[in-house]
Amino acid sequence: MPHPASATVAVIGAGVAGCAVVAQLRRLGFSGSISLWETGRGPGGRASTRRSRGDSQLVIDHGAPLLNITGTPPPQLLQPLLEGGWLEPWPGPVAMLEGESRLNIGRPDALGMGLLLHGPGGMDLLCRGLLQLAGGEGLAQHYGSFIRSLGRQPQGPWQLIDPEGSLLAEADWLVLSGTLLAHPRSQVIFGWDAVPLARVAAGLGDLQLDHVLLTLAGIRFEARSNLLLVLTGQAATAWRALPFRLVNFDAAAQQRWGLHRLSIQPLDDGRCAVVAHSSDAFAADHLDVYGARSAVARLLQLPADAGREQSVIQSLADAVGQCMAPWVPPLDLDEAAPQLMRWGAAFPIAPGLPSELMLCSRSRLGFCGDYIAGVGFGRIEGALRSAEALAQGLVAHLPPSA
Ligand SMILES: Cc1cc2nc3c(=O)[nH]c(=O)nc-3n(C[C@H](O)[C@H](O)[C@H](O)COP(=O)(O)OP(=O)(O)OC[C@H]3O[C@@H](n4cnc5c(N)ncnc54)[C@H](O)[C@@H]3O)c2cc1C
């Protein structure tokens, strides 16, 4: 075991939980080296924002469009994020669409209760703000870096290994902020012969870690197939004029149209982005259609199946057109630059991993993310709270000055 004063930490995943654990470790006084590893092009994870190099006005929140805080006291990181301007109040009411085509303005669902917030100019500002709070010193951020497997001798450091089998980094402590390396779904998606963390755990003899792996293996996730549209001209004007920015679908409406939500995102130049989130049932029926720009398609180097992707896009667009027909003109898909974004593990299904299991100190390993049971489970609030709790547990093992 290395001397704690020189302890280093590697965090896999730069979503809300990964960025928050880094920020909170710094706030609690840990000044040692932290490396952050993320397969995406930037921070955000499921709360990320799609931006375009050639079109600076095009900013689309293709995952979570907002966050809601329901518990008291609020997460400790919330106030500094608000003070820094990284979050602001969500503008205006949300609406609920009922199966009978009735729009009920002001009726929230579970994702719309409590204090509603979003990132001004993109939800990815939340993670960018968290990293800003962490400060740059001693923090190495690595994007476009997929950790394929892990290595560890019982007394040695954790090893992070890339898809080619090369060693990327070593660290004394490891934080997993996503479940991919610890959950059997990685075997289903990528055809791997073992769950990477389970392979390492077999040599560690840590009963708590074995228990964590068993519990994680039982967690299931809801999926989403999201359709991204960019409307111009009269279509944009009509959508921008709606008196709400989010439409939730009640159970009957989800069944009728195969949609869970519509997120309406006016762009600064008069266009309007609309993101249609499918229902879980729709996504489950189209699980193998990834969307050409999805991370999984990129990692698997999947050949594009334009025909199947187009048919999913068409189904979702038809549903959007039909359910919103009373209020906006018909969609012209050719004019709307449609894109498909599939989230295979969009929302973990309760109960999740009990919080008392999140720190396996014997293995120098911590878990955080919205899959940890507690207030905010399955939401950004839960990702923040779990990261704060994990950081609190970690600092007992990591001294304030390195
Ligand atoms: C469509 C959609 C709508 C949502 N709407 C809401 C909402 O309205 N309100 C709300 O509160 N929440 C919402 N959520 C849920 C919310 O986005 C999540 O709860 C939150 O973002 C989870 O953060 P996280 O850090 O726990 O996980 P993630 O955001 O999943 O972060 C994990 C990160 O780890 C990275 N990663 C994983 N494995 C590896 C690896 N091996 N190597 C490198 N990187 C890796 C991933 O790329 C990812 O960036 C929504 C989610 C989706 C998909």
Which pairs with CB-CB distance under 8 Å and at least 24 residues apart come from 190-198? 190/299, 190/300, 196/148, 196/149, 196/150, 197/150
Rounded-to-integer distance, Cα 205 and Cα 232, Å: 59
Closest CA to 267 of 237, 288, 290: 237
Cα 312 → chain centroid: 22
Digit-coded pLDDT (tens) for 20-51: 999 999 999 999 999 999 999 999 999 999 99
pLDDT in tens, 107-125: 888 899 999 999 999 999 9
Strands (E), 39-195: 49-52, 55-61, 67-69, 88-89, 95-97, 103-105, 115-118, 139-142, 149-152, 158-161, 167-171, 173-176
Chain-centroid distance of CA 121 in Å reads 18
Ligand 1 centroid vs 95 CA: distance in angstroms? 24
Pocket of ligand 1 (CB under 6 A): 12-18, 37-40, 45-47, 63-68, 111, 146-147, 177-178, 180-181, 224, 226, 277, 343, 346, 369-370, 378-381, 383
Tokens 């990964």 — which residue?
18
And the tokens for 115? 């204090």
166 Cα–ligand 1 center, Å:
26
The CATH number of 89-110+221-347 is 3.90.660.10
52-91 pLDDT per residue, tens: 999 999 999 999 999 999 999 999 999 999 999 999 999 9
The structure tokens listed for 273 are 């982005």
Picking from 17, 160, 152, the residue whose alpha carbon sits closest to that of residue 77 is 17
Identify residue 13 by its one-letter amino acid code: G
Ligand 1 centroid distance, CA of 241 (Å): 30
Mean pLDDT (whole number) for 166-195: 95
Percent of all residues in the chain with a pLDDT value above 90, rounded to a whole number: 87
Candidate of 21, 264, 368, 380 to mutate for ligand 1, largest count of ligand atoms within 8 Å of Cβ: 380
**3-state percent helix, strand, coil for the chain, nearest multiple of 5:** 35, 25, 40
Minimum CA distance residue for ligand 1 atom 23: 16
Please provide the average confidence, as pLDDT, over all residues in the chain.
Answer: 94
pLDDT for 126: 98
Atom of ligand 1 nearest to the CA of 277: 1
pLDDT at 399 over 70: no
- Between CA 365 and CA 59 the distance in angstroms is 36
Q: Which residue has the tokens 């990815």?
A: 124
pLDDT at 4: 46
pLDDT in tens, 256-305: 999 999 999 999 999 999 999 999 999 999 988 877 766 767 776 666 66
Q: In terms of pLDDT, which residue wins out, 126 or 4?
A: 126
Q: Quick one: pLDDT band at residue 3, thresholds 50, 70, 90? A: very low
pLDDT at 25: 97
Band of the pLDDT at 106, cuts 50, 70, 90? Answer: confident
**Residue of the CA atom closest to atom 5 of ligand 1:** 64
Q: How far is the CA of 45 from the centre of ligand 1 (A)?
A: 4
Q: What is the pLDDT of residue 39?
A: 95
Residue 143: CB atoms within 10 Å: 13
Query: Measured in angstroms, how far is the CA atom of residue 16 from the centroid of ligand 1?
Result: 7
pLDDT in tens, 370-394: 999 999 999 999 999 999 999 999 9
Indicate the helix (H) or strand (E) that contains 222.
strand 221-231
Ligand 1 atom with the smallest distance to the CA of 13 is 34
Tell me what pLDDT residue 308 has: 85
Could you tell me how many residues make up the chain? 402
Under the banding of pLDDT at 50, 70 and 90, the label for residue 154 is confident
| Amino acid letter, 160 | L
Structure tokens at 37: 């590893």
Predicted confidence at residue 189, as pLDDT, reads 86
pLDDT of residue 303: 64
| 8 A C-beta contact, residue 159 and residue 374 | no
pLDDT at 398 over 90: no
> Per the structure block, which two tokens stand in for 161?
């290994």
For residues 126-149, give the mean pLDDT: 97
User: Measured in angstroms, how far is the CA atom of residue 15 from the centroid of ligand 1?
Assistant: 6
Instruction: Evaluate if residue 146 carries a pLDDT over 70.
Output: yes
Per-domain boundaries in the chain: 4-48+126-219+349-395, 89-110+221-347
Give distance in angstroms: CA of 238 to centre of ligand 1: 31
Which one, of 67, 81, 79, lies nearest residue 19 by Cα? 81
Q: What is the pLDDT of residue 1?
A: 42
CB-facing half-sphere around the CA of 306: CA atoms within 13 A: 0
User: Is residue 253 over pLDDT 50?
Assistant: yes
The pTM assigned to this predicted structure is 0.96
Tell me which residue has its CA closest to atom 6 in ligand 1: 64
Which pLDDT belongs to residue 306?
72
**CATH code of domain 4-48+126-219+349-395:** 3.50.50.60
Tokens coding 40: 């995406």
Ligand 1: atom nearest CA of 65 is: 8
- Alpha-carbon torsion, ordered 293, 299, 302, 303, to 10 deg: 60
Token pair for 328:
């906006």
The residue that leads in pLDDT, 374 or 1, is 374
Q: Does residue 40 sit in helix, strand or coil?
A: coil
Look up residue 401 and give its two tokens.
């000055």
Ligand 1 pocket: which of 11, 16, 35, 46 to mutate (most atoms within 8 A of CB): 46
pLDDT at 400: 56
